[in-house]
Each structure stands twice: as C-alpha cells, then as structure tokens.
Amino acid sequence: MRILLQFPEGLKQKALEHAKNLEKEGHEVFISASPTFGACDLAIDEAKNIKADKLIHYGHAEFHKVDFNVEYVPYFIDAPTTLLPEALETLKEYKTISIVTTIQHIHQLDHVRKFFESNGKKVVIGKPYGFAKQPGQILGCDIGSAANIDNIVDAHVYFGGGMFHPLGALLNTKKPFFVIEPFENKVARIDGFRETYRKRSKGKILGALKAKNIGILVSTKNGQHNMNLAKIIKQKAEGSGLNAEILVANTFDFMALNNMMEFDAFVNTACPRIGVDDTDRTRVPLLSANELMEVLKMKAELLAMQK
C-alpha cells in the first residue's frame, strides 16, 4: 500500500522510525513535511497528489468525516501527577470543579478526577461541542467540555501541557480557571488573562473603525474551511459601504498578508485561534467575525450621530 504519514510538529522527530516500521511491513511510505496544526489540517491534497491509498495522521483524534482513507493514530503522553496535592490546596475554597485536558492526556482524566473526589471535591466532566470527541477533552476550537458546565461548577481545572488549550477555554467561561502544568511544574490561576484579551479585542475594534478595505481569510484546510461565513461577512461589509475581498490560503503567511498593503483590516474565518494568538503579527487589525460585526455596528452609530 502507498501511505503518506503526517505528524504534528511535536511528533515529527518520530517520523523516520514510523516510516521504517511500515516499510518493513512492505508498504511504500512518504512523509508529509508540511506544518501540521491538528486533525483539522489533514494532508489530503498531498496524499492525492502522490496517489497514496491512505493517509496516517498521528497525534490527533478524528475531527470530522472526510472523503479519503485516513487512519488516526492517537499519541498519549503520561504527564506526572505529583502536583495534584498542591492543586488540591490551591483549590480549597471551590467545592465543585470541572477538569479538562487534551487528547494527549485524556487517559489520565479518570485518575485526576478520582484524586479530587477522594479528597472531598465534586467533579463534573463536561461534554465537548463536537469537534473534540471525548468528555473532558478540549481543543482550541472546542471548549464545550468547560463552557457547557460553566454555570454548575465553582472553578475549572486544566490538566496538561502548554497554555494554548486552557486559554481558549478561559475566554469562553466566566468562572475561576486553574492550570496544572506538569511539565513546567506549575499550578496557576489564569483567569486574569480574560481582561487582557478583552482589552486587546477592544483595541482591535477601535483600530478597525477607519478601515475601508477588508480582507477575509479563508483557509483550504479540511477542518478550517468556512467559505459560507466568508461570503456572509463580505456581504455585510459591502452592505456597510466597505470594500471586501476573500483571501484564500492553506496556511496563512503573515508576511504575505502584510504585503497586501491595500487592506486596512483582516477578518479570520479559519482556526479561531488565529485571531487570538497571532493578532500582533499583522500590520492591521486581525478581527474575528464577531469583532467585525462590532466594528460595523459602531461605524453605523457614529454615522447616525454625524447626521
């Protein structure tokens, strides 16, 4: 069988080993060298171009159905749980907590839950919206496991590596938010970042008020493609007297975007985290669809006041 292998950045160091094992089984093997952001970003075009029979995607669970033969190989990481007693002390004033994690640590969720329950906490494990598949699992674009139960818990707890995932969940919940980061040996409360992001969003909206030409970003990645939303945004922007064009790329390169000097603002319809994490990388405001709607509303109000 001809197989294309695809690894997220953290697992690319294992690519050769996996390729050699599959070659020993008699397969013809190729390795995708493109950057990989998630199961939203399957290398299907590359697989089709090299006439592969199958794509093996490592490290992520299925995102949604695609019209290609894809095998998902999850990659679980055993994170140390030595910080749990410290976390228990930090969380002493909260009776009911949620616990969320990523697919890499989902196999440890039960152990973490049992630890808190045996120490007097009520633990609620939420369900994701749909892109994430397991209860308690979060993705940058599916924080349902926390947001769905925000009104019934006293605090949220993220267990796992990195800040990418908890920051997404943080922005869509209102309760105190704690992180147990076993690799940095850190237990921390992070909901102070909500205000930082709110101010940043306000700054982008105000910065886009004078924009006349809007570039709407549409990614061709299988799980990030949102042309329908882009067309609605274009219509709304044009209805408010702005020029709007849809800009298409697989992975958006910020230098290329910054070279498009005619645009005064960009609107993201791809991975929702682009507008949050990469907001300082564009020359002009990089807005979400909701932020653009706020810009259009404020423009209309300003216009009405001038009449």
Binding mask 250-279 for ligand SF4 (x = CB under 6 A): ---------------------x-x------
Q: What minimum distance in Å lies between the beta carbon of 71 and ligand SF4?
A: 18
How far from 153 is each of 119, 127, 173, CA to CA, in Å? 17, 14, 11
CB of 289 to ligand SF4, least distance (A): 15
Considering the rule CB under 6 A, would residue 138 count as an interface residue with ligand SF4?
no
Determine the residue type at 160. Answer: G
Stretch that binds ligand SF4, among 115-123, 139-147, 178-186, 299-307 (CB under 6 A): 139-147
Q: What's the closest the beta carbon of residue 248 comes to ligand SF4, in angstroms?
A: 17
| Interaction mask 36-75, ligand SF4, x per CB under 6 A | -xx-x-----------------------------------
- CB 273, min distance to ligand SF4, A: 5
> Considering the rule CB under 6 A, would residue 224 count as an interface residue with ligand SF4?
yes
Binder to ligand SF4 among 140, 160, 166, 182 (CB under 6 A)?
140
Nearest distance from C-beta of residue 51 to ligand SF4, angstroms: 26
> What's the CA dihedral at 109, 115, 120, 124 to 10 degrees?
0
With a CB cutoff of 8 Å and minimum separation 6, the contacts of 126 are 98, 100, 135, 136, 144, 145, 146, 147, 148, 149
Shortest spacing between CB 220 and ligand SF4, in angstroms:
13
Q: Could you identify the residue written with the tokens 């690519």?
A: 15
Binding segment for ligand SF4 (CB under 6 A), chosen from 12-20, 33-41, 195-203, 255-263, is 33-41
Phi, psi dihedrals of residue 135, rounded to the nearest 5°: -55, 135
Residue that the structure tokens 């033969």 belong to: 69
Tell me whether residue 36 or residue 237 sits nearer to ligand SF4 (CB atom). Answer: 36
Footprint of ligand SF4 on 99-128 (CB under 6 A): none
Select 105 or 273, whichever has its Cβ closest to ligand SF4: 273
Residue number of the CB closest to ligand SF4 reads 140
Residue 238 CB, nearest distance to ligand SF4 (Å)? 27
Site string for ligand SF4, 168-207 (x = CB under 6 A): ----------------------------------------
Binding residues vs ligand SF4 (CB under 6 A): 37-38, 40, 139-141, 223-224, 271, 273
